[in-house]
Structure 1
Amino acid sequence: MPLDPLAKRLLTMMAAAAPAERVRPSAEARRRSLAKLMQFARAEDVALTTTDASMPGPAGAIRYRLYAPAEAADGPLPGFVFFHGGGLVAGSIETHDRIAAALAQVTGGRLVSVDYRLAPEHKFPAAVEDAIAATAFVAARAESLGIDASRLVIGGDSAGATLAAVVCQQALADAAPAIAAQCLICPVLDFEETSPSREAFAENHLIDRATLEADLADYLAEGADPADPRISPLRALNLSGLPPAIIHTAEFDPMRDEGAAYAKRLMAAGVAVEHTCHEGMIHNFHAMGALLPQARLVLSQIGEQVRRIVG
């Protein structure tokens, strides 16, 4: 299917505004760019309450934002631990507030959005350590958060989905905490090899090769191995026993193929998988509901899938 006309218009505008000579962007430039892009997330009128707080982490307090239905039913609700995207260099609970709120609304549970440490100030494995610690905290304090620990979903978008996948793999290795499902939206899963989709959409498809290279250079300390499954979860040797997976990819996303490959490997390992590749769409499309109608559709679909698994 051809590139969606509305997505094409967005990419054309972004290309026109970009400098003629593309150079590797700085971390600050990437943070500004993502914050601007996330303004296109659609702000729905949702009946939610939000609470900002912090949890203990391996290197100090980790901020989080808890989203809950304004009129919740008695008893604990399903929980969703959410890790925002941004290449592990950009993004925050503020930039992804509308997406987190939308996910909380469509899933009907309580969502914890985690403000993990970012590179280059905090290189690998800081973000991974924070993500694992945050998941353990939510599982251990589920009752006080109003969450049913037996119905816990771990998810994220883009590089946040990298963390979600790693958390699920680590929880399986540690036999705790119990995770009911994983939700990976436009996931980044392989930093070791270049897939055909990374080559085909390396330029002018929202996230380009220069940005991906900059993210990786800022994230990894000297000597880190990109094939480490904590960096490239697609490279894990054994995926058997992982929780059911909800995976959404986009046809014109550089990371499309690694998302599809992960879905295929999970299914081969006996894991239940629902994988949808959205035709005509680009990376991060789910977060641009003010421009792309498909964003609202995919969020609604994710809500249905999550509710089907965790009730």
Structure 2
Amino acid sequence: MALDPAVKNLIDTLNEQGLKSFEQMSIAEVREVVESFSGLQAPKADVARVVDTVYPGPGGDQAIRLYIPESETPLPVVVYIHGGGWVAGSLDVTEQPCRALASDAQVIVAAPSYRKAPEHKFPAAPEDAFAALNWVIEHAAEFGGDSTRVAVMGDSAGGNLAAVTALRARDTGGPALRAQVLIYPVIDGTARFPSREENAEGYLITTQAIDWFWEQYLATPEDAENPYASPAKAADLSGLPSTLLLLNEYEVTRDEGVDYGRRLADQGVPVQVELYEGLVHAVYWMTGAIPRSAELHSAVVEFLGKQFAD
């Protein structure tokens, strides 16, 4: 399918503005550009309560923001881990999608911050993400959550961290998860699938940019073989929670996601894979600029509704 018209318009506009590819930017520039994505978002939904607090991470306290809808009964909880190439992203730039998810799915969204590369390389981020999950489980009842109905979710590098968190929860005997939602996850540090060549340039995130983000994140090249850095390297995927994988046609990481979904299914994990034609990486955040980003949001809401139904 041809590139979605709204996506093409956005890419053309960014090119006219002279936006460099991420690998050509400084760390500060990357962070500034990622934060600017908030300008591409729809208005923020109302949520009954938003609570800013901290959770204890291995490197010290980290921020976590809770989006809590009105409810007379305990609500399911989604631990949403934001993307940004392990380098960028924040609780502020992801506030709009978190509010929308909390409102439309009637779930509590717990959005943790985590230590960023290159200042804090692997395994800092997944250590923080797992600590955040455990904190959420322990404190769920305090903010109206049901600790027996918890999912992890993330986009891009956050999808990586969500997948790693699910792996680690399985490997350590808990916490038990109902589901994982992986939105165009970056999950294979040595991937050489066809989409790396097919979509190498021209679609917001280049193959060189993906490789650059991995270089910022990993402490050594050998870390790319560690399943807690590259969850696609896990030989055993059995016992993982029900999975929703959302992938886009024109993105570098498309095929590693397709392959991960196939392997999950082959090993008995209930998995739903959705491939959106005409779309590119990062559109989940771009709700104001890319109308079809609503398709990804709706798929997440529907999937979580089924997973949390008792």
Q: Same fold (TM over 0.5)?
A: yes
Percent identity, please: 36
Determine the C-alpha separation between the residues in 1 that align with 2:23 and 2:87: 17
Find the counterpart in structure 1 of residue 284 from structure 2: 286
Matches within 5 A, 1:29-178: 29-69=29-69, 71-72=70-71, 74-178=72-176
Give unpaired runs (5+ residues) of structure 2. none
- The 2-side partners of 1:187 and 1:19 are apart by 24
Alpha-carbon contact 2:45-2:103 (below 8 Å) kept: no
Name the residue aligned to 2:223: 225
What is residue 263 of structure 2 aligned with on the other side? 265
Q: Which runs of 5+ in 1 are unaligned?
A: none
**Mean Cα deviation higher: 222-231 or 263-272:** 222-231
Residue 23 of structure 1, CA deviation: 5.7
Aligned length in residues: 309
**CA-based RMSD:** 1.6
The yes-or-no answer on 1:15 pairing with 2:15 is yes
TM-score by length of 2: 0.95
Q: Indicate how the Cα distance of structure 1 residues 280 and 267 shifts in structure 2: closer, same or farther if over 3 A, else same.
A: same
Question: 1:197 and 1:129 mapped to 2: Cα distance?
Answer: 30
Q: Distance in 2 between the 1:194 and 1:289 partners?
A: 30
Which residue does the alignment assign to 1:26?
26
SS state at 1:301 partner? helix
State the match for 1:215 in structure 2.
213
> What CA distance in whole angstroms lies between the structure 1 residues aligned with 2:37 and 2:251?
16
Give the AA of the match of 2:132.
A
Deviation at 1:194, TM superposition (A): 2.3
Counterpart CA distance in 2 for 1:133 and 1:272 is: 26
2:280 counterpart SS class: coil
Q: 1:87 to 1:174 in 2, by over 3 A?
A: same
1:212–1:223 distance in 2 versus 1, CA, 3 Å: closer
How far residue 219 of structure 1 moved from its aligned partner, in angstroms, is 1.0
Shift of 1:8: 1.0
Tell me if the contact between 1:24 and 1:210 (Cα under 8 Å) persists in the aligned partners. Answer: no
The 1:75/1:282 distance shift into structure 2, 3 A limit, reads same
Secondary structure of the residue aligned to 2:68 is: strand
Work out whether residues 22 and 209 of structure 2, in 8 Å CA contact, stay in contact via their aligned partners in 1.
Answer: no
- The residue matched to 1:112 in structure 2 has which SS? strand
